[in-house]
Amino acid sequence: MTEPDQDPRLDQILDLMIQFASGDMKARLKPSPARDTIDAIITGFNLLAEELDLMYQNLEARVAERTKLLRRAQKDLELLALTDSLTGLANRTLLGDRIGQAIVRSDRDALPPAVLMLDLDEFKYINDSLGHGAGDGVLREIASRLRSTVREIDTVARLGGDEFAIVMPDVTEEGALLVAHRALTALQDPIVLGDNSIQVTASIGLRFGMRGLSADDLLRDADIAMYEAKGEGKGKVQVFEPSMHRASVQRLQMVSELRQAISDGQLSLRYQPIVRLADGRIVGAEALIRWDHPTRGLTLPNNFIALAEESGLISDLGQWVLRTGLADLAQWGATVPDLGEFALHVNITATELRRHGLIDHVQRILDDFGTPPSRLALEVSGSTMITGDVSAMQALVELKELGVSIEIDDFGTGYSSIAYLRELPVNAVKVDKSLVAAIGKDDAQNAFVRAVLQLIESVGLRAIVEGIETANQVGELLRAGAVYGQGYYFSMPVDARQIAGLLAADLPLHGRDQRESTSR
Ligand code: C2E
Ligand code: MG
Ligand code: MG
């Protein structure tokens, strides 16, 4: 297509442009010695190509840099998704992955993996009393101690809160047990954080490896065994056995039924009058919860309060009791001309005391019903756990300041010393029925009951004696200086309407000897 007399450089320029267009920015054209206009154009193209090439290279470099950054971010994200940020241990996802790998390997040339689940005993008290900073410090220290107890191929994970797990690939039962006991030992030395020296213990559940079990199976079984270990007391190792499985399923079932019961109105309250022993006058009533189970029938609290505590339902349950009880009390106040010194006694567990917001909650319910705080007494059970527990003690102090009466329930069972009564901010003591049952057996028992009553009085507290069933017991208790009491002798636990009737009748309760017959 070239015209005969055309400057050949024009063709060369055309070629150059074609090369550029195809992406070859390295192509160049040498200007001729003529240095005329066409050479000027050639030089211009060369410069342009130079410029474009540079820009292109920059872009490449930037893309490469970006890609690298993106890759690193991706890695960080993956790590973040697989590790626990507080301790740097593996998290649940990574743990599951490692268990999976260990299972795959055990199909070929290794033993199936064992899984260990570890939960700190009473970690929440560390958090509550020393603050979350200290709690974090404790968790980090535990993480590092656990890491030092395992083999290179084992993985230590934190599953959240104060729960840890270890997967041990290719391990014998003896080997796994050894790690479990080493882990307990590793926690024995106190953890020193600033001025505090903190002693921790843990409960451990261990699932030995077995062919055919999935990662989920292993984790679930180790968890079940861990709960068994907790039930055995602090600092125990429990190896999973299939029989535990059924118990745990039943427990779960009952928890969900109890949750249902609270919202479905299967719960009700009975009230047992508390009387002045000398004249049988009613001075109060204790609210006692009952569960009318659709198939099991009337269930007594000893069969479900502990479960409510373990499952965290206790706080819903406690709120229901308080609200229902105070509603009934308001009703009695509206129908009876003068309630006198009458107080409603409500049971509360030490666990509830530790709950944040309890004081506000009690205050709110009292306000809702316009009930003076002096009409409410809280009976604290499981109170031996309270001493040394800063947040529970604080709650007691605040409740007492509110004007609510605080009573220690079940006094005389387990560990109950007078020093301890002096330490707690309380108004009264409920003397346990086991002490009363011993009255009249022999002189030594009578003397013992008398001593307990005197001790309570000596620290300036009121005693209310529970479980009085006979006239003989009443007589002996009066001689021992007891002032208040309750029991089947005076009245069984009855419903709210019957209490209203008793209060309206305004008659002293003089009992007849009897044994419990309402409940099974
Ligand atoms: P508690 O607070 O020591 O209550 C006294 C228990 O003794 C009640 O059992 C009552 O029915 C029973 N009782 C009363 N008089 C006599 C008697 O003369 N002889 C004998 N042998 N027993 C008598 P109940 O109602 O089965 O309650 C058992 C425990 O369950 C209570 O012991 C209390 O610790 C707990 N509880 C009951 N209601 C509640 C509640 O609403 N919340 C919480 N957290 N715990 C509750
Ligand atoms: Mg009680
Ligand atoms: Mg009691």
pLDDT at 401: 95
Gap from CA of 257 to ligand 2 centroid (Å): 24
Alpha carbon distance 467, 476 (integer Å): 14
pLDDT at 416: 57
Q: Residue range 178-203: average pLDDT?
A: 92
Gap from CA of 413 to ligand 3 centroid (Å): 9
pLDDT at 23: 80
What pLDDT, in 10s, does the model give residues 493-505? 999 999 999 999 9
- More confident of the two residues 211 and 356: 211
What Å distances lie between residue 218 and 107, 207, 224, 317, 475, CA to CA? Answer: 16, 6, 10, 33, 61
pLDDT at 512: 63
Shortest-distance atom of ligand 1 to CA 379: 2
- Pure H helices in 86-155: 92-106, 123-130, 132-147
Pocket perturbation via mutation, ligand 1, pick of 269, 271, 288, 429 by most ligand atoms within 8 A of CB? 288
Q: Residue range 131-152: average pLDDT?
A: 93
pLDDT at 3: 60
pLDDT at 384: 58
What Å distances lie between residue 394 and 126, 195, 384, 409, CA to CA? Answer: 15, 22, 15, 18
The structure tokens 């993480």 sit at 143
Gap from CA of 308 to ligand 2 centroid (Å): 16
Does the beta carbon of 328 lie inside 6 Å of ligand 1? no
Mapped to the 3 state alphabet, what secondary structure does 381-396 carry?
ECHHHCCCCHHHHHHH
Gap from CA of 412 to ligand 3 centroid (Å): 10
pLDDT at 415: 53
Does the beta carbon of 301 lie inside 6 Å of ligand 1? yes
Alpha carbon distance 440, 437 (integer Å): 8
The structure tokens 């005693």 sit at 463
Of these ranges, 8-12, 86-90, 269-273, the one predicted with the greatest mean pLDDT is 269-273
Does the beta carbon of 380 lie inside 6 Å of ligand 1? no
pLDDT at 517: 42
- More confident of the two residues 327 and 442: 327
pLDDT at 473: 94
Alpha carbon distance 248, 250 (integer Å): 5
Alpha carbon distance 287, 250 (integer Å): 28
Alpha carbon distance 364, 341 (integer Å): 22
Q: Are 417 and 424 in contact (CB under 8 A)?
A: no
pLDDT band at 37 (very low <50, low <70, confident <90, very high): confident
Tell me: pLDDT of 323 over 60: yes
Pocket perturbation via mutation, ligand 1, pick of 466, 516, 520 by most ligand atoms within 8 A of CB? 466
Pocket perturbation via mutation, ligand 1, pick of 258, 346, 347 by most ligand atoms within 8 A of CB? 347
Does the beta carbon of 381 lie inside 6 Å of ligand 1? yes
Q: Are 234 and 177 in contact (CB under 8 A)?
A: no
Torsion over CA: 140, 145, 150, 153 (sign): positive
Tell me: pLDDT of 516 over 60: no
Does the beta carbon of 467 lie inside 6 Å of ligand 1? yes
Alpha carbon distance 259, 269 (integer Å): 17
Torsion over CA: 234, 240, 243, 244 (sign): positive
Gap from CA of 409 to ligand 3 centroid (Å): 5
The structure tokens 């005389």 sit at 412
Task: Give the number of whichever ligand sits closest to the CA of residue 432.
Answer: 3
What pLDDT, in 10s, does the model give residues 43-90? 888 888 888 888 888 888 888 888 888 887 777 777 677 889 899 999
Gap from CA of 430 to ligand 2 centroid (Å): 7
Of these ranges, 134-148, 422-436, 502-516, the one predicted with the greatest mean pLDDT is 134-148
Average predicted confidence (pLDDT) for the chain: 89
Average the pLDDT over each of 122-126, 245-249, 257-261, 413-417 and give the range with the smallest value: 413-417
Q: Are 503 and 333 in contact (CB under 8 A)?
A: no
Pairing of strands 376-381, 282-293: unpaired
Q: Is 340 helix (H, G, I), strand (E, B) or coil?
A: coil
pLDDT band at 444 (very low <50, low <70, confident <90, very high): confident
Shortest-distance atom of ligand 1 to CA 352: 44
Task: Give the number of whichever ligand sits closest to the CA of residue 467.
Answer: 1
163 beta partners: 119, 160
Alpha carbon distance 365, 350 (integer Å): 20
Alpha carbon distance 481, 447 (integer Å): 12
**Encoded tokens for 223:** 């968890």
Note the pTM of the prediction, 2 decimals.
0.67
Does the beta carbon of 313 lie inside 6 Å of ligand 1? no
pLDDT at 214: 94
- More confident of the two residues 511 and 8: 8
Q: What is the CA radius of gyration of the chain?
A: 38
Q: Residue range 15-25: average pLDDT?
A: 84
* Element counts in the chain: helices (H) and strands (E): 18, 16
Task: Give the number of whichever ligand sits closest to the CA of residue 486.
Answer: 1
pLDDT at 388: 64
Tell me the residue type at 93: T
Alpha carbon distance 286, 345 (integer Å): 4
pLDDT at 417: 61
> What percent of the chain has a predicted confidence (pLDDT) above 90?
57
Does the beta carbon of 271 lie inside 6 Å of ligand 1? no
Cβ neighbours for 82, distance < 8 A, ≥ 6 positions apart: 90, 91, 93, 94, 97
Q: Are 280 and 317 in contact (CB under 8 A)?
A: no
pLDDT band at 447 (very low <50, low <70, confident <90, very high): confident
Q: Residue range 138-163: average pLDDT?
A: 95
Tell me: pLDDT of 230 over 80: yes
Eight-state DSSP code of residue 209: -
The structure tokens 């790998």 sit at 101
Gap from CA of 119 to ligand 1 centroid (Å): 32
Does the beta carbon of 452 lie inside 6 Å of ligand 1? no
CA atoms within 13 A on the CB side of 89: 30
Does the beta carbon of 409 lie inside 6 Å of ligand 1? yes
Gap from CA of 286 to ligand 2 centroid (Å): 7
Residues with CB under 5 A from ligand 3 (ion): 409-410, 430
What pLDDT, in 10s, does the model give residues 479-491? 999 999 999 999 9
Q: Are 16 and 29 in contact (CB under 8 A)?
A: yes
Q: Residue range 301-313: average pLDDT?
A: 89
Cα–Cα–Cα angle for 434, 436, 442, rounded to 5 degrees: 105
CA-nearest residue, atom 19 of ligand 1: 467
346 beta partners: 287, 378
Q: Residue range 393-405: average pLDDT?
A: 94
Alpha carbon distance 143, 86 (integer Å): 10
Q: What share of the chain is helix, strand, coil (3-state, %, to 5)?
A: 50, 20, 30
Tell me: pLDDT of 128 over 80: no
CA atoms within 13 A on the CB side of 204: 26
119 beta partners: 163, 203
Maximum alpha-carbon separation in the chain = 143
Gap from CA of 431 to ligand 3 centroid (Å): 7
Tell me: pLDDT of 238 over 50: yes
* Residue of 139, 117, 145 lying closest to 126 (CA atoms): 139
Does the beta carbon of 31 lie inside 6 Å of ligand 1? no
As to burial, measured by CB atoms within 10 angstroms (0-12 exposed, 13-18 middle, 19+ buried), residue 116 is buried
Task: Give the number of whichever ligand sits closest to the CA of residue 511.
Answer: 1
Q: Residue range 400-407: average pLDDT?
A: 96
* Residue of 197, 248, 259 lying closest to 226 (CA atoms): 248
Gap from CA of 454 to ligand 2 centroid (Å): 21
pLDDT at 54: 85
